[in-house]
Chain A
Amino acid sequence: MTGSTLIILAVFAAGFIGLAVWDIVRSKKKIQKYRLRSAATAYLMLLPAVLLAFLFILLPILYSLGYAFTDYYLLTPNDINFIGFDNFASVFKEIGEKGTLYHAIINTLIFVVGVVPLQIGMALGLALFTNRKVRGVKIFKVCFFAPVVISLSVTSFLWLQILSPSETGLLNSFLGLFGAEPHDWLRDPKTAMLCIIILSAWQGCGFQMLIFTSGLANIRNDLYEAAALDGANAWQKFRTVTWPGLRSTFVYIIITVFIGACRIMTQPMLMTGYQDHTVTLSYYMYTQGYSYRWVGYSSAVALIMTIVIGTITLIQRRAFREK
């Protein structure tokens, strides 16, 4: 393992140095002396970031790409064989037979479709609310942001208490006041994913609220004053001033929330365990890769997932591009 990493590192280093040398050499002879000094400084300053990106982003991706074509089993790391597209064939077979992967894809889609608008809508609403110049609004801002800094494990356990199926569970005992029977929210396939969507939107929206707030701060006040002079009501001000002003912020948020939503794993893992009605793609990959130890197969799923997410992200960027 170490040997191949060193070879990749050497290739990468050679590429980086070659690029720097070529960049300097191609410059005109009369400015070469000046260029050598400035370029060397620039490349040296670039080196730590490039090295970190290589080690923690590029290298794992490249390894994963390679493993996707192997039978890598975690317990036998010294016995890895190239198996061509067998892992990809298994992926499509599993989907075709409506196995757990099929459920994972459906659940992830449901989650994405549910959580992206809900979380962004909540974040925008909270940002508009906390953006008003009202006394004590900062306290609300802190309260809304608090779930973001709490670990997902902690919030999941907190929600497990709220959604406890026993009649003493917080939600069940509250609904019991109105005569409702206790309900097993997380075992019922009709409500489990909904609960996970609500928990995730509640947990994550505080962060997007802050980004929206900074976007709101960039909208010039005179635009609102002009709109007011034209007799615009609150909705018209929002539609014609606020929303266009938040467009680039919105594009950033929708892309990041979408990518984050596609990677959901902790909540179903802690709240329901590995069950068909809540398993997600990331949870499936983790289970296949770590619990069942099939790194090769898991890498193939990851590769397909990366391509799909990347494609959708590109489509999103194109769709929201400024005309």
Chain B
Amino acid sequence: MKKIFKTLSVLAVSAVMACGFAACGGGGGDGGEVDSSGNTIVKIMFHVDEKSTEGQAYKKRIDAFNTAYKDKKIKASASYQARTTGAAGYETELLNKQIEGTLPDIITFDAPNCASYANSKLLYDISSLVPEDVQDDFLSLNEYGGKLYGLPIQESSAGFYYNKKIFRAANIDVSSYTVENPWTFEQFKDVCARLKNHGTTAVDMRLDATKDETATYLLYPFIYAAGGSFTSADGFTATGYFNSSATQSGFQFLKDLVAEGYTSYSIGATDFYTGKVGMFLSSGWTIPEIENKYKDTFASRDDWGLLPYPQGTAKASATGSWCYGITNNNHADKTAAKELLLWLTSTESSDAITTATGMIAARKSVNKNYAAGSPEEVLLKQLQLTGKARPATVAYPTFSTCFNQIIYSLKDGNLTDILNTQTNTLQSEMNKLHK
């Protein structure tokens, strides 16, 4: 009995070892699924909950598409997977579908993932599917290796929300700092010093937000603005870029803000909203937050405003939001997917979705008529004039972790050592991916 059991076990393990290495995956199809009524089904997966405001906006556009394309026999089928920080998140679901060979025809993805998705051929090259005039109408495009892989759903930028009541009390005038005439790093520090002298915590730089993409998204423009960079143009070299002296000076500026007591890692999540902090670095999502939840502190727009990123030797501000991309799944004919992609990125859809979310429209021709000097106009102008995307590298997840670890260690560590360590980590990952 024991002998037979042993033999069977060896056979089973050998079979596994042999099969495990075999190529696996689904077979090919052509135009995709067709339902009983003869409609070609185009599947799309969204990164938000269906019941959320954003999810509802997508749902309405999908319903409108199905009505408009009824005669053309194309039907969109949407699924919604809210992204969370854990294993149940959107990305996990997406990767599982990639492994199973069941990728939908269209996915949404966060802009920094474009390089790795494109490099691994998860995304389909849509350069020839999207007309030139449509491409020209976007504030930004998701390109990799000179090819187009994604179209933004909406745009996002960030800036410094400031409490006008505190600024008035401290006799600080920042009205001359605009996107066209930005403040410098030194002027930024001067404002911080005056706020500190006034007895207020000067600025919440979100140094605590290193568990996810938040800190990277909000702080990377400082490095570009200081003349620094992260990777080579092809995204496969970090040495000499991520640890260059210009990059170090950008991080040094952030370190100085901590050392001089203008910001810290221990600012409470609601301290700006409750009037304890003068400035707050955040994205456009904060506008509805201030207006809807904190009327006690900010009764009207006379009580708060938005300042652009300060600039150094170069100009940079945060960009990059979620995008639509067509997948390289087993449906060779992308005609129906192209129709849905163009529908969802049309000016009408762009307008409808950003009206629901309060974000900046991705299409230039969607005119929202923002008031001069309003926070929304500051964000839009930043995107037009100083917006610079995060590095396009296939090793982006490692880059994000390395960036977060630098921010986390800024206060106490030796900056040169920290940058060299993280650069080595990133370079090693890039070498592994550069086959």
Nearest CB in chain A: distance from B420 CB, A: 13
Is A75 in contact with B122, judged by CB distance below 8 angstroms? yes
Nearest CB in chain B: distance from A31 CB, A: 17
Please report the total number of B residues contacting A with Cβ < 8 Å.
49
Q: Which residue of A lies closest to B96 (CB)?
A: A74
Judged by a CB distance under 8 angstroms, whether A117 is at the interface is: no
A78 touching B24 in the complex, CB below 8 Å, given contacts A1-B100, A8-B15: yes
Q: Which residue of A lies closest to B208 (CB)?
A: A165
Give the residue of B1, B16, B23, B397 whose beta carbon is less than 8 angstroms from that of A78.
Answer: B23
Complex interface: chain B residues within 8 A of A164 (CB): 266, 268
Expressed in whole angstroms, the Cα–Cα distance for A269 and B12 within the complex equals 37
Nearest CB in chain B: distance from A12 CB, A: 6
Nearest CB in chain B: distance from A107 CB, A: 15
On A, residues with C-beta under 8 Å from B are 1-4, 7-8, 11-12, 15, 18-19, 22-23, 26, 62-63, 65-67, 69-70, 73-82, 99-100, 153, 164-168, 182, 184, 187, 269-270, 272-276, 286-287, 290-294
Expressed in whole angstroms, the Cα–Cα distance for A58 and B317 within the complex equals 51
Judged by a CB distance under 8 angstroms, whether B211 is at the interface is: yes
Is B116 in contact with A63, judged by CB distance below 8 angstroms? no
A66 touching B16 in the complex, CB below 8 Å, given contacts A274-B405, A291-B397: yes
Judged by a CB distance under 8 angstroms, whether B425 is at the interface is: yes
Is A62 in contact with B23, judged by CB distance below 8 angstroms? no
Expressed in whole angstroms, the Cα–Cα distance for A312 and B22 within the complex equals 34
Q: Mark B236-261, 1 if CB is under 8 A from A, else 0.
A: 00000000000000000000000000
Nearest CB in chain A: distance from B422 CB, A: 11
Is A63 in contact with B5, judged by CB distance below 8 angstroms? no
Complex interface: chain B residues within 8 A of A292 (CB): 397-398, 429
Expressed in whole angstroms, the Cα–Cα distance for A8 and B121 within the complex equals 29
A290 touching B401 in the complex, CB below 8 Å, given contacts A1-B99, A273-B210: no
Judged by a CB distance under 8 angstroms, whether B127 is at the interface is: no
Expressed in whole angstroms, the Cα–Cα distance for A66 and B13 within the complex equals 9
A1 touching B24 in the complex, CB below 8 Å, given contacts A11-B15, A66-B16, A275-B408: yes
Is B266 in contact with A184, judged by CB distance below 8 angstroms? yes
Complex interface: chain A residues within 8 A of B17 (CB): 65-66, 69
Is A75 in contact with B95, judged by CB distance below 8 angstroms? yes
Is A77 in contact with B98, judged by CB distance below 8 angstroms? yes
Is B265 in contact with A184, judged by CB distance below 8 angstroms? yes
Is A15 in contact with B12, judged by CB distance below 8 angstroms? yes
- Between-chain CB contacts (< 8 Å), 13 pairs: A4-B24, A7-B15, A62-B16, A69-B17, A76-B121, A77-B101, A78-B25, A80-B21, A165-B208, A168-B268, A187-B408, A270-B85, A276-B405
Q: Which residue of B lies closest to A275 (CB)?
A: B408
On B, residues with C-beta under 8 Å from A are 1, 4-5, 8, 11-13, 15-17, 19-25, 85-87, 92, 95, 98-101, 116-117, 120-122, 208, 210-212, 265-268, 271, 397-398, 401, 404-405, 408, 425, 429, 432
Is B4 in contact with A19, judged by CB distance below 8 angstroms? yes
Expressed in whole angstroms, the Cα–Cα distance for A111 and B16 within the complex equals 35
Q: A15-B8, A99-B425 are in contact. List 16 more A-B contacts (CB 8 A).
A: A1-B24, A19-B5, A63-B20, A65-B16, A73-B120, A74-B98, A78-B25, A80-B21, A166-B266, A166-B268, A167-B266, A184-B265, A272-B211, A274-B404, A292-B398, A293-B397
Complex interface: chain B residues within 8 A of A70 (CB): 20-21
Q: Please list the 7 inter-chain residue pairs (A to B) with the smallest Cβ-Cβ separation, ordered nearest first.
A: A66-B20, A165-B266, A273-B211, A75-B120, A4-B19, A1-B24, A15-B8
Q: Which residue of A lies closest to B5 (CB)?
A: A19
Is B117 in contact with A75, judged by CB distance below 8 angstroms? yes
Is A77 in contact with B99, judged by CB distance below 8 angstroms? yes
Nearest CB in chain A: distance from B230 CB, A: 17
Complex interface: chain B residues within 8 A of A79 (CB): 23
Is A1 in contact with B4, judged by CB distance below 8 angstroms? no
Expressed in whole angstroms, the Cα–Cα distance for A250 and B64 within the complex equals 64
A1 touching B25 in the complex, CB below 8 Å, given contacts A164-B268, A165-B266, A187-B408: yes
Is A187 in contact with B265, judged by CB distance below 8 angstroms? yes
Complex interface: chain B residues within 8 A of A66 (CB): 16-17, 19-21
Residue of A15, A269, A294 most packed against chain B (CB within 10 A): A15
Complex interface: chain A residues within 8 A of B267 (CB): 166
Complex interface: chain B residues within 8 A of A75 (CB): 95, 98, 116-117, 120, 122
Nearest CB in chain A: distance from B100 CB, A: 7
Expressed in whole angstroms, the Cα–Cα distance for A19 and B210 within the complex equals 55
Complex interface: chain A residues within 8 A of B13 (CB): 62, 65
Is B23 in contact with A80, judged by CB distance below 8 angstroms? yes
Is A19 in contact with B266, judged by CB distance below 8 angstroms? no
Expressed in whole angstroms, the Cα–Cα distance for A184 and B15 within the complex equals 53
Give the residue of A11, A74, A274 whose beta carbon is less than 8 angstroms from that of B99.
Answer: A74
Q: Which residue of A lies closest to B394 (CB)?
A: A75
Complex interface: chain A residues within 8 A of B15 (CB): 7-8, 11
Is B20 in contact with A4, judged by CB distance below 8 angstroms? yes
Complex interface: chain B residues within 8 A of A19 (CB): 4-5, 8
Nearest CB in chain B: distance from A191 CB, A: 14
Is A290 in contact with B92, judged by CB distance below 8 angstroms? yes
Q: Which residue of B lies closest to A274 (CB)?
A: B401
Give the residue of B20, B401, B429 whose beta carbon is less than 8 angstroms from that of A67.
Answer: B20
Complex interface: chain B residues within 8 A of A287 (CB): 401
Complex interface: chain A residues within 8 A of B16 (CB): 4, 8, 62-63, 65-66
Nearest CB in chain A: distance from B304 CB, A: 22
Complex interface: chain B residues within 8 A of A67 (CB): 20
Complex interface: chain A residues within 8 A of B425 (CB): 99-100
Complex interface: chain B residues within 8 A of A286 (CB): 87
Q: Which residue of A lies closest to B408 (CB)?
A: A275
A275 touching B405 in the complex, CB below 8 Å, given contacts A74-B95, A74-B99, A76-B121: yes
Complex interface: chain A residues within 8 A of B404 (CB): 273-274
Complex interface: chain A residues within 8 A of B19 (CB): 3-4, 7-8, 66
Nearest CB in chain A: distance from B250 CB, A: 21
Nearest CB in chain B: distance from A46 CB, A: 15
Expressed in whole angstroms, the Cα–Cα distance for A274 and B422 within the complex equals 13
Complex interface: chain B residues within 8 A of A78 (CB): 23-25
